[in-house]
Chain A
Amino acid sequence: DAGVIQSPRHEVTEMGQEVTLRCKPISGHNSLFWYRQTMMRGLELLIYFNNNVPIDDSGMPEDRFSAKMPNASFSTLKIQPSEPRDSAVYFCASSFHLLGRRNYQPQHFGDGTRLSIL
């Protein structure tokens, strides 16, 4: 079975450029999560979608970050303009979850995108 697929695996770009990270969740999963991992802050949840609708975006750092999920099989995380402090590994994860129901299905992670902003 295909897992969560992220692209690109690595991205190096200059400050000020637009960066778009892509994610394809596991088929059948209705919840999608974007995380950021840095040495200083560890793993942080940026945004969470359920049935393509953003449920919790309280972790999105600032207006430079935006995320979309136009359909059940695709999501993007965009940074515009990018800054050196955005350098991190960005993970996408998916699971199945019914809102309002107790549900502890594990989140399955993609391999991550290692982003370097020069």
Chain B
Amino acid sequence: AQKITQTQPGMFVQEKEAVTLDCTYDTSDPSYGLFWYKQPSSGEMIFLIYQGSYDQQNATEGRYSLNFQKARKSANLVISASQLGDSAMYFCAMRDRSGSRLTFGEGTQLTVNP
């Protein structure tokens, strides 16, 4: 069975600084995909970034980058130059080889302070 663990219920960061949100996962499947989603207070789920288990390089998407350490089974999200609009709940999720079920972590509430 797959499991996603986000150990930080809440994180605080100063505007313009970088922040790392932790995510560890557990799966017996050698092939999987890892995703990060952002959920602002308005409620929608916004896809941010994806990392495949066989990808050689860490994924980057604008100010978002994924620190993928396969041996440690971690896929931490790094947000550079934080903005006030980054304040939201962030979810790490994993998709197995079948490609169907997304397993979500419990989320990390990020607050960006001015």
Contacts and interface: CB of A to CB of B under 8 A. Distances in A.
Interface of A: 31, 33, 42-43, 45, 48, 50, 55-56, 89, 91, 93, 97, 99, 101-104, 106-112, 114
Contacts, number: 55
A81 B88 CA distance: 34
Given A42-B107, A104-B52, A106-B35, A111 B44 contact: yes
B44 to A, nearest CB: 5
Q: What is the interface of chain A mostly: helix, strand, loop, or mixed?
A: strand
Size bracket of the B interface: 20 to 34
Contact of B31 (A33, A93, A102, A112): A102
B61 to A, nearest CB: 11
Contacts of B50: 104, 106
B33 A104 contact: yes
A4 to B, nearest CB: 10
A103 to B, nearest CB: 5
Interface string B98-109: 011110111100
Nearest to A112: B43
A106 B27 CA distance: 19
Given A56-B100, A106-B47, 18 more contacts: A31-B100, A33-B100, A48-B100, A48-B101, A50-B100, A55-B100, A56-B101, A97-B99, A97-B100, A99-B99, A102-B31, A104-B95, A107-B47, A107-B102, A109-B44, A109-B45, A112-B44, A114-B43
